[in-house]
Structure 1
Amino acid sequence: MSDQARTVDRVRILGRLGEMSRIGALENGGVCRLALSPDETEAKARLIGWAQALGCVAYIDDIGNLFLRLGGADSAEAPVLVGSHLDTQPVGGNFDGVLGVIAALECLEIMARQDERAFMPVEIAVWCNEEGARFNPTTMGSAVHVGHFPLGEALAVTDASGQSVEASLRQSTASLRAAGIGLSHRDLGAGYKAYVELHIEQGPVLENEGVGIGVVTDVQGLVQYRIEVSGVAGHAGAVPMEGRKDALTRARALMAELDAELGAFGGLRFTVGRINVAPGSINTIPAKAEFTLDVRHPDPQVLSQVSRRIEALCAHAQLTRLIYQAPIPFDAGIVSTIEQVAEQYGVSSRRMVSGATHDAAHVAALCPTGMIFVPCRGGISHNENEYCEPDDVVQGAQILAETIMALAGRQAQ
């Protein structure tokens, strides 16, 4: 494969990743670009500028998902989608999500150099609030777009400061338009020919095995809960220990029960990721303790059984199920295409199940979908030490580009 017109520009893709890393940069080397924040909006504006220089047309749907279309803007032809997300964790890394978006832009750069008659339209998809760090649940934008989560409920969700998704989306969109960016409307649940997403693995398997590309066959199932335990507030020095109704003590006991119970399920991964205590005063017994629980497993029967046990254990607490996503298999044809492309380039690959959930898990309900993983150092993600070697960035983007061109080729119809 030596055709320069089909080759990823190493300097360009690494340079654009570097530019994005400075938007929302933290002193520790990480990045904070929360969904629909001014920083994430700035990142979207930067991306749109690059894409419009190629002749792309920008679209936005009612939940804030962004689509950048190359070719056939006036055509009703279903496009091939390629993309990921630009939002991050509060202390995130410089590759999670954004790598897939910048690699998608590189696909369009390559395709713009080809005979436009050879391909059907291709669009970059930038999904809104994938991380769920500012607004719960995770993968909100893709879930709403596909119809897995009601638009009205999503718009009403608020962040820790009380600001709603609806208000934040209105501000973000207004900022883009104020910058002179035209945004056409995209209907929810629009039709697509296929979707492929490039992502860092967020685990250590590829690096440990010395494999260049992960070909994702499935996304394991996910259920997330918010659990609230009540107590009675009182003075920390005046109320005797015996007889106290300390919400945090009760919550810790419940967490210990959950640890013991869930630890018995082989292959299960479960995490308490957030704890809030009210009133939150150093000298006051907590009246309320709230925590989240994230549970994942690749077997739908196990996930269902675990969910029932959690709900039974939490019978005396206020339990809210935030999301339930069954394990998702990806399209066999796209899996095969990715493997064939990797083989053509002499890149080693292995099939694997994604431990993390992704927007692709929702989009699979709309069209044939697949994912490509590239190694990340130490399997580290969701913190400032997240890192993907430049060679792996370029190699992953090249496999992605050839996969998208294979799917979008007129001969593929």
Structure 2
Amino acid sequence: MSNQECAVNRARVLGRLEEISRIGALENGGVCRLALAPEETESRARLIGWAQALGCVAYADAIGNLFLRFGNVGSNEAPVLVGSHLDTQPVGGNFDGVLGVIAALECVEVLSSQSDRAFLPVEIAIWCNEEGARFNPTTMGSAVHAGHFPLADALAITDAGGQSVEAALRQATASLRAAGISLAPRELAAKYRAYVELHIEQGPVLENEGSAIGVVTDIQGLVQYRVEVSGMAGHAGAVPMEGRQDALTRARALMADIDKELAAIDGLRFTIGRIDVAPGSINTIPARAEFTLDVRHPESDVLTRSAEQIERFRGRAQFTRLIYQAPIPFDPEIVRTIETVAQHRGLGSRRIVSGATHDAAHVAALCPAGMIFVPCRGGISHNENEYCAPDHIIHGTQVLVETVMALAGEPGQ
């Protein structure tokens, strides 16, 4: 097969990215499409429409993950899965997640044009609540699908306004139904032949080294906590400083001690990303302070030791572990396939460990999995200034298409 026969359509890929970027667009150039919010649901409807025009059939599982199946629709044959997510951070960029979904759709576009070749079924996956920005924890949909997080627990989680995942999912499904979109049921932990995901790197390594393609070998491990510190409310002017039970003061001291403890661990990355104080009045001593803690390392024993050290502080606060994800190695054969495709296309590549977690980390428990990274300017992500150059978008999409074609090719062809 010549390069031209499986070439991606540059205008189509870039045009679809631009179209989706208008859904939830912010004045600063960024985007806000929180999981299961109307904006994310609208973007899902757009993707479903494009896919159905190619003959895809839409499925959804109990946690809201979408699957758009192309080829052998009525069979039980395990498909090659390819995709990412459409939800964003509250002030997010236009490439994180959505690039992988648009590129997955382009895989189906190219496959649909190959009338002289037979392929195994291919499914576009759109994972629910990857970001964890509206509902904690992150990668919720893929975690539930893979059996790493209980469905009932996930459905009961609420956002800052008190709405549950279950209620938000019910609303999103009703909106799709009102738009004429019906979704067939998909079981959790379904069988797949392989999974590949294209994503911006979200770091500066590829750009700094001038590499067009990052071949992801591993995803570093992750543990996240919600930490709640208790105190007693009182009048800010009337209660003397001595003897106060100020929850925020206690929380700040705890944060400082956690920082000191974790900073001594080589290579560990830890972040306190959210702080909540109640009752939240300017003239009232805080009765409760809650914060999140995100900790990551590529080695299992280091991550385990870090979690143990964190949990020694339990006497000073209530620690709820939201998620524990061990470091994930990707399938060596898929890694080699991606490298071979990049080399065939004349694209410089390098092996890389993902600092961020992704849905692929959970899907790797169900089937062989791999990821492709492309550079993003300055390594900036989770930010309205996130940017991926058109050439990098097309290079990554091309490598994804040919990798999926190699994985989905019928034996003997």
Counterpart code for 2:234: G
In the TM superposition, what is the alpha-carbon distance from 1:285 to its structure 2 partner? Answer: 0.7
**Which residue does the alignment assign to 2:411?**
411
Output the CA distance in 1 between the equivalents of 2:297 and 2:163. 33
Output the CA distance in 2 between the equivalents of 1:261 and 1:273. 18
In the TM superposition, what is the alpha-carbon distance from 1:132 to its structure 2 partner? Answer: 0.5
Shifted more, 389-398 versus 172-181: the winner is 172-181
In the TM superposition, what is the alpha-carbon distance from 1:240 to its structure 2 partner? Answer: 1.3
Matched positions, count: 413
SS at match of 1:283: coil
Cα deviation 1:302-361 (Å, max 9, x = unaligned): 000000000002322111000000001100000000000000001011111100000000
Shifted more, 396-405 versus 1-10: the winner is 1-10
**Which residue does the alignment assign to 1:92?**
92
What runs of 5+ residues in structure 2 fail to find an aligned partner? Answer: none
Counterpart code for 1:218: D
Q: How does 1:7-406 map to 2 (within 5 A)?
A: 7-115=7-115, 117-406=117-406
SS at match of 2:403: helix
Output the CA distance in 1 between the equivalents of 2:322 and 2:285. 28
SS at match of 1:137: coil
Cα deviation 1:108-156 (Å, max 9, x = unaligned): 1000000375210000000000000011111010011111011111111
Q: Is the 8 A contact 1:144 1:150 kept in 2?
A: yes
Q: 1:116 to 1:20 in 2, by over 3 A?
A: farther
SS at match of 1:108: helix
Q: Is the 8 A contact 1:82 1:195 kept in 2?
A: yes
Q: Which runs of 4+ in 1 moved over 4 A?
A: none
Q: Is the 8 A contact 1:406 1:412 kept in 2?
A: no
Cα deviation 1:354-405 (Å, max 9, x = unaligned): 0000000000000000000000000000010000000000000000000000
SS at match of 2:217: strand
Q: Is the 8 A contact 1:71 1:116 kept in 2?
A: no
Counterpart code for 1:393: I
Output the CA distance in 2 between the equivalents of 1:116 and 1:273. 52
Counterpart code for 1:124: I
Cα deviation 1:31-63 (Å, max 9, x = unaligned): 000000110000000001111111111011111
The alignment's C-alpha RMSD in Å is 1.1
Counterpart code for 1:275: I
Output the CA distance in 1 between the equivalents of 2:115 and 2:355. 38
Output the CA distance in 2 between the equivalents of 1:40 and 1:93. 14
SS at match of 2:253: helix
Counterpart code for 1:358: H
SS at match of 1:315: helix
In the TM superposition, what is the alpha-carbon distance from 1:412 to its structure 2 partner? Answer: 7.0
Output the CA distance in 2 between the equivalents of 1:89 and 1:26. 12
Counterpart code for 2:172: S
Output the CA distance in 2 between the equivalents of 1:92 and 1:242. 43
Counterpart code for 2:400: L
Output the CA distance in 2 between the equivalents of 1:195 and 1:266. 32
In the TM superposition, what is the alpha-carbon distance from 1:286 to its structure 2 partner? Answer: 0.5
Output the CA distance in 2 between the equivalents of 1:9 and 1:369. 25
Counterpart code for 1:104: A
Counterpart code for 1:320: T
Output the CA distance in 1 between the equivalents of 2:46 and 2:140. 23
In the TM superposition, what is the alpha-carbon distance from 1:182 to its structure 2 partner? Answer: 2.2
Output the CA distance in 2 between the equivalents of 1:324 and 1:36. 24
Cα deviation 1:63-87 (Å, max 9, x = unaligned): 1000001110011110000000000
Output the CA distance in 1 between the equivalents of 2:185 and 2:228. 39
Counterpart code for 1:189: A
Output the CA distance in 2 between the equivalents of 1:116 and 1:184. 30
SS at match of 2:152: helix
Q: 1:113 to 1:356 in 2, by over 3 A?
A: same
Output the CA distance in 2 between the equivalents of 1:159 and 1:371. 30
Output the CA distance in 2 between the equivalents of 1:347 and 1:335. 15
SS at match of 1:411: coil
Cα deviation 1:233-283 (Å, max 9, x = unaligned): 111111111111111011000000011110000100000000000000001
In the TM superposition, what is the alpha-carbon distance from 1:411 to its structure 2 partner? Answer: 2.2
SS at match of 1:394: helix
In the TM superposition, what is the alpha-carbon distance from 1:2 to its structure 2 partner? Answer: 5.2
Counterpart code for 1:300: S
In the TM superposition, what is the alpha-carbon distance from 1:177 to its structure 2 partner? Answer: 1.2
